[in-house]
Amino acid sequence: MIAPSLLSANFLKLEDEINMINKSKADLFHLDIMDGKFVPNITFGFGIIKQIKKVANKPLDVHLMIDEPDRYLSEFKEAGADYLSVHYETCSHLHRTIFAIKELGMKAGVVLNPHNPVELLYEIVDDVDFFLLMSVNPGFGGQKFIPRTIEKISKLRNKIEQNNSKALIEVDGGVGLNNASQLADAGADILVAGNSIFGSDNPLDTISKLKEIIK
Ligand code: DX5
Ligand code: ZN
């Protein structure tokens, strides 16, 4: 699947950008929620998500980069999240958080920062709907892909298969046409792309090309 990250969209023309994604071959809208504490940047909250939900015709994949995400799980559901992911680094009781997300009726995802070993996720392979491996340090769009992520994807893919789990692997940060096939070969299921889509001359065409690679 392809999940364009609206972080790189033109917010003055957000409705046009959403309509472009609506008619594209993309599968999800990736929304980055940052609190200025867990990550050194602040984005947007419930009001904007609700507005996006009114126009978007594909599921919303909401990536929380906030401390203590448990405080707000039901608010994100109400705002329109379909997929909700929390960082491993922000949850003391991750297992409880995953099940709370599922009970609210959303797909539950766990995100891992680049410095953390992928083995930290092994105990929850049977519990989550998807994993999100960060391939840049979270906080900003347009950063350079960290190549070691490829090995982490392969390891996680093997573990998922060993367990007969249905968990998907999403990759986020510095993803584009230059590395998409490597990521797909390593076992990625969902590619998040911000700058490589919205910064390209023809976003619709870039999405089609990415989709061709990952399907
Ligand atoms: C970074 C965000 C990403 C970001 C990706 O913290 O989680 O979703 O928008 O942007 P690109 O694809 O430009 O690296
Ligand atoms: Zn993201």
> How much is the pLDDT for 126?
98
**Residue 121 main-chain phi, psi, to 5 deg:** -95, -10
Q: What is the mean pLDDT of residues 71-77?
A: 98
Q: What is the mean pLDDT of residues 188-211?
A: 98
The rounded Å distance from CA 136 to ligand 1 centre is 8
The rounded Å distance from CA 31 to ligand 2 centre is 7
Contacts of 11 (CB under 8 A, 6+ apart): none
Q: What is the mean pLDDT of residues 29-39?
A: 98
pLDDT digits (tens, 9 = 90+) for 144-196: 999 999 999 999 999 999 999 999 999 999 999 999 999 999 999 999 999 99
Angstrom distance (rounded) from CA 215 to CA 213: 6
Edge-to-edge order in the sheet of strand 2-4: 2-4, 190-193, 168-172, 130-134, 107-112, 83-87, 60-65, 29-34
> How much is the pLDDT for 207?
98
Angstrom distance (rounded) from CA 60 to CA 51: 12
Under CATH, domain 2-214 is a member of which superfamily? Aldolase class I (3.20.20.70)
Ligand 1 pocket: which of 28, 29, 143 to mutate (most atoms within 8 A of CB)? 143
Catalytic residue among 32, 35, 61, 189: 32
The rounded Å distance from CA 96 to ligand 2 centre is 22
Q: Looking at the predicted structure, is the pLDDT value of residue 89 above 90?
A: yes
Task: Judge whether 33 and 44 are in contact, CB under 8 Å.
Answer: yes
Work out the percent of the chain whose per-residue pLDDT is above 70: 100
> How much is the pLDDT for 215?
80
Ligand 2 ion: Cβ-proximal residues, 5 Å cutoff: 32, 63, 172
Q: Looking at the predicted structure, is the pLDDT value of residue 63 above 90?
A: yes
Angstrom distance (rounded) from CA 95 to CA 100: 9
Average pLDDT, the chain: 98
127 is catalytic: no
